[in-house]
Structure 1
Amino acid sequence: MKHFLSTTFLVLIGLLFLLPGCNKNENVKPDESGMFVKFYGGSYDDHGYSVVEAPDGGFYVSGSTYRANQPGADTNIFVVKADRNGNAIWTRYYNLGDGFDEIARDMIIDKDGNVVIAGYKRNKNKTTDVLLFKLKNGNPLDTSFVTFGDTATDEKGYNLVQTSDGNYIVYGSAETKSALLDMYLLKTDLTTALWKRQMGTLDRNDLIGSFDIVDNKRLVWCGTTERNGERNIAVTTADDYGNFLWNLTYVPHNGINEYGRSIVKTTEGYVIAGSKNRTTDATSLKDVYIVKTDFNGISGVNDKFVVPGNYSSEANSIVALGNGVYGVTGYIRTAAGDKNIYVAKVTEEGKVLASAEFGGAGDDEGKHIIYTKDGGFLVIGSIYAVNNSMMAAYKMSSDLKLVK
């Protein structure tokens, strides 16, 4: 059994009595516990992957739900609109009119106020296609979607950005003919594919991390390459047509695996967060690992550091606060071997300014962290409770204390 922070434990116990109604009632009553520790979903397996702050001060949260009571028991898109205190205003599940899986992995509010979600959808051939799902002006009842892909192979969308010309770029993965994975870019106007790019080595896995646009033109993304039995962080940049500018792999040549999961732009370059094995054994414990580079991808000897813990930990998302300070979220394992949501505030020299853990029995994981307009952190992820997983949101102050 894992141990909660004391305040979190009391809040969770109170909220568990509210959970079944939250999943089934579209007009969810606000939680009155007082702390911004919110669980969305109920009697199904629900997972949170992305959160954005809305213009009205509230939040949109997206992810997936496994609706076991439906014909075919497929996975559907799950979207929540919450107020500034995290109380659900509405929740919606979208199965897009068929019995095939749909999963939402990233979300933005575009220049026109639409909520646009990127993910993937399984088709009748049992492969997956990139999915873009839109809520016009954030209206949960005014939706549309489009898919892109080769029906013979898997394509999945994980990151989404809007370009300066009003179109959209999705970053994700594409299956190769060798049944391995390449990194994948797709530009679209939400109707047609304007261009596609596939990056990787035919006989190796190239795993995605995250993606961004720099100065409205240059594209930058991180991921993980697998070469000669070793996995290393890679950073790639391209122009706004997806043509390569440079690609750098941070190879220590020591047989230890590193994984790039999230990249963020700073005033001086880029910062990548992920994880690093402690030994050459791929099953060894991992630590949160952060790499800093300049805009040319050059990293100095003091620009790489781990955030050590007693047990394995990994970062899934990083946000820059400025002045060389970052917030990260992911997971940290406990002595029992299961996962807690992990949040840390660190400097670019590797100093941990504050950290926090949230969770109970079972695996819990932070997937996305943002820095909110009021100067705090909001983390979205999943927790395991009442025999199933639930979408979870935690709001913290700048020193990682839970807030009301």
Structure 2
Amino acid sequence: MKKLIVTFFILAAFSTTYSQWVSNYGYKTGDVNFTTSKGNAVVCKGDFSYVTGYTLEAGRGNDIVTIKYDSDGDTVWVRGYNGTANSDDEGLGLCVDEDNNIYVVGYAQYTGKSKDAVILKYSKTGVLLWVRPFSVTSNSVIDKGVAITIDEHDYLYITGFTTGSDGNTDIFTQKCDQSGNVLWTSIEDGASNLNAEGTAITVDDERNVYVCGFVTVTGTNTDIAVLKYSRTGAQRWMKTVNGNGNSEDKAWGIVVDENDNAYITGYVTTAAGTTDAYTAKFSSSGNLIWSDSYNGNGNQSDKAWGIVVDEDRAVFVTGETEDANDNSNYLTLKYDRHGELSWEKTYNGPGDGEDKSAAISFFRNNIIVTGKSWGSTSTYDYATIRYKKNNGLQLEVSRYSMTENSNDLAKDVATKGGTTVVTGYSELIMDNAEGDTYISTVSPAWDSKLESNSIVPSGFSLYQNYPNPFNPGTSIQFDLAVNSNVKLAVYDVLGKEVSVLVNQQLEAGTHNITFNASNLSSGIYFYRLEAGDFYDIKKMTLVK
């Protein structure tokens, strides 16, 4: 049977500019497991979106599938990859470099071997440039790459787990160049040398690498693990977190801020046997700055799956919270830079059933979360929610179902330039039986632009430039609470002023300034905003 790619265009009544599109690919795809696959499934870059996952092929198990969409939702290309054993192969994460090459990480099975971790590199036109399957250690039985990221120099960083001959899994972290050559590999299995897995990875401006996941410890079950490596692969520190229930504690998301503080989220098990959503901030040297275990009003189980941090070092996490009736609802939390809870929001879908948020993104003044939500037709729908960042006001909810008789589970969300893209899968239900499954990628039609902010800000703020790193142009946003004399200037690392972007009176409101650095060399620069008595400085990276 041939694959089916269906793209729907649903135009918002008020404007054709912000149209929604939906693209369904497949005839049979494997289920997405939210708890074991936390790499990026969708990435937005430029005018394109990229999705990875897997599709079931007759006679050869699952194949890795990678799809590129244009800004209208049209499929630019689709590529599949099958390991030589004609068995199960899965794509679990992807990233895109400055030349729009795509890197996919996952695992594949090869003749005479068990499962190997694998990285695929595609050109922007979909040409497979190279494939690098690898056994992390010489006695590896099963290896899986579950998350990948890239720095401004196009070095790749991967984490996941490797299974040794003793049957136990270890966290592996690896750095590769853009040709797939391994520069270093680190293995960590915790103090008890038992099962451990890496679940998420990120890198700071100095190319230090941060990984989160979990390790098994004798007497305490699994503990949250947070690791930092230098650019050369030396382990700088490792921290573990054990909930007071001495049971399952796991981290599923990690990010760093511009000061190289690391933030993780996940959950810990309590003495009562329930779980609390756990979020923590660590300094660059590994000291715990703050942590919070969130227990919802239902006093049941709460878990967090995704995390982002903004330019003010406010932290946003999303996941799920159970009410007193054991029904789970979306959970989204905001912490200020000091770890104080600023707001908490829950969402119960129209079916008053199970609702679980899986992923989070943000753009300007908007927080976007997505996941699966029990609908009025007694099936799951995508539910993508837009909140106002400063106060948690729910602005819009976008729900998607492929048909009235389909279970639709969103896995990941990405936001770029005011466009939101959500991906996951849709499983058809036929006569109460499992039917065909499709990779469903959706761009919600918001009722208003994500960038919009007509309200006069309550304070002065300077935001992180976007994109960052950049080449050669980037946008700098700032808020003015009152009319002000404003100077916005750019400086090199020696403190020399290299460009003045604004030097005039401006009205109160939110302003966006475009900085073109075509005449500057690659490197780190600083931009400083002066507005009356207010000033702030941010760092940005130019990569040519």
* TM-score bracket, shorter-length normalisation: 0.7 to 0.9
Deviates more, 1:84-93 or 1:226-235: 84-93
- CA offset at residue 312 of structure 1? 4.4
- Is the alpha carbon distance of 1:339 and 1:46 closer, same or farther for their aligned partners in structure 2, counting shifts above 3 Å? farther
What per-residue deviation string (whole Å, max 9, x for no partner) do you get for residues 205-228 of structure 1? 112121111123211111112212
**Hey, what's the Cα distance between the residues in 1 that align with 2:319 and 2:335?**
17
- Is the alpha carbon distance of 1:266 and 1:193 closer, same or farther for their aligned partners in structure 2, counting shifts above 3 Å? closer
Instruction: Give the letter for the 2:286 counterpart.
Output: G
- Of structures 1 and 2, the larger Rg is shown by 2
**What does residue 64 of structure 1 align with?**
54
CA contact (8 A) 2:95 2:148 kept: yes
Instruction: Give the letter for the 1:65 counterpart.
Output: T
Alignment partner for residue 213 of structure 2, among 191, 213, 223?
A: 223
What per-residue deviation string (whole Å, max 9, x for no partner) do you get for residues 31-67 of structure 1? 33657474633431245651111222x3111111223
- Classify the secondary structure of the residue corresponding to 1:380: strand
Instruction: Give the letter for the 1:44 counterpart.
Output: K
Alignment partner for residue 173 of structure 2, among 174, 185, 188?
A: 185
**Hey, what's the Cα distance between the residues in 2 that align with 1:63 and 1:188?**
22
**What does residue 42 of structure 2 align with?**
51
- Is the alpha carbon distance of 1:256 and 1:46 closer, same or farther for their aligned partners in structure 2, counting shifts above 3 Å? closer
**Hey, what's the Cα distance between the residues in 1 that align with 2:249 and 2:325?**
24
Instruction: Give the letter for the 1:167 counterpart.
Output: Y
CA contact (8 A) 1:60 1:79 kept: yes
Residue segments in structure 1 that go unaligned for 5+ positions in a row: 1-19
CA contact (8 A) 1:108 1:160 kept: yes
**Hey, what's the Cα distance between the residues in 2 that align with 1:366 and 1:39?**
13
Answering whether residue 423 of structure 2 is matched by residue 380 of structure 1, we say yes
Instruction: Give the letter for the 2:268 counterpart.
Output: K
**Hey, what's the Cα distance between the residues in 2 that align with 1:108 and 1:41?**
20
**Hey, what's the Cα distance between the residues in 1 that align with 2:73 and 2:321?**
24
- Classify the secondary structure of the residue corresponding to 1:45: coil
**What does residue 198 of structure 1 align with?**
187
Answering whether residue 242 of structure 2 is matched by residue 264 of structure 1, we say no
CA contact (8 A) 2:222 2:249 kept: yes
**Hey, what's the Cα distance between the residues in 1 that align with 2:293 and 2:78?**
40
- Is the alpha carbon distance of 1:163 and 1:401 closer, same or farther for their aligned partners in structure 2, counting shifts above 3 Å? closer
Equivalenced residues, count: 370
Q: Which is richer in helix? A: 1
- CA offset at residue 346 of structure 1? 2.5
Q: Which is richer in strand? A: 2
**Hey, what's the Cα distance between the residues in 2 that align with 1:168 and 1:31?**
35
Instruction: Give the letter for the 2:221 counterpart.
Output: E
Identity percentage of aligned residues: 19
Answering whether residue 144 of structure 2 is matched by residue 156 of structure 1, we say yes
CA contact (8 A) 2:421 2:442 kept: yes
1:4-403 aligned at under 5 Å gives the runs 24-25=3-4, 28-32=6-10, 36=20, 38=22, 40-46=24-30, 50-56=41-47, 58-67=48-57, 70-72=58-60, 74-84=61-71, 86=73, 88-95=75-82, 99-137=86-124, 139-149=125-135, 150=138, 152-163=140-151, 165-189=153-177, 190-201=179-190, 203-227=193-217, 228-268=219-259, 269-281=261-273, 284=274, 286-300=275-289, 303-306=291-294, 308=296, 310=298, 312-330=301-319, 342=330, 344=332, 346-348=334-336, 349-352=340-343, 354-356=345-347, 357=355, 358-360=372-374, 361=379, 366-374=410-418, 378-386=421-429, 387=434, 388-393=436-441, 395=443
RMSD: 3.7
CA contact (8 A) 2:213 2:225 kept: yes
What TM-score do you get using the length of structure 2 for normalisation?
Answer: 0.59
Residue segments in structure 2 that go unaligned for 5+ positions in a row: 13-18, 33-39, 348-354, 356-371, 381-406, 452-544
CA contact (8 A) 1:218 1:238 kept: yes
- Classify the secondary structure of the residue corresponding to 1:31: strand
- Is the alpha carbon distance of 1:400 and 1:120 closer, same or farther for their aligned partners in structure 2, counting shifts above 3 Å? farther
**Hey, what's the Cα distance between the residues in 1 that align with 2:109 and 2:331?**
33
**Hey, what's the Cα distance between the residues in 1 that align with 2:445 and 2:342?**
19
Instruction: Give the letter for the 2:231 counterpart.
Output: D
CA contact (8 A) 2:26 2:55 kept: no
CA contact (8 A) 2:224 2:241 kept: yes
CA contact (8 A) 2:115 2:144 kept: yes
- CA offset at residue 87 of structure 1? 5.0
Instruction: Give the letter for the 2:373 counterpart.
Output: G
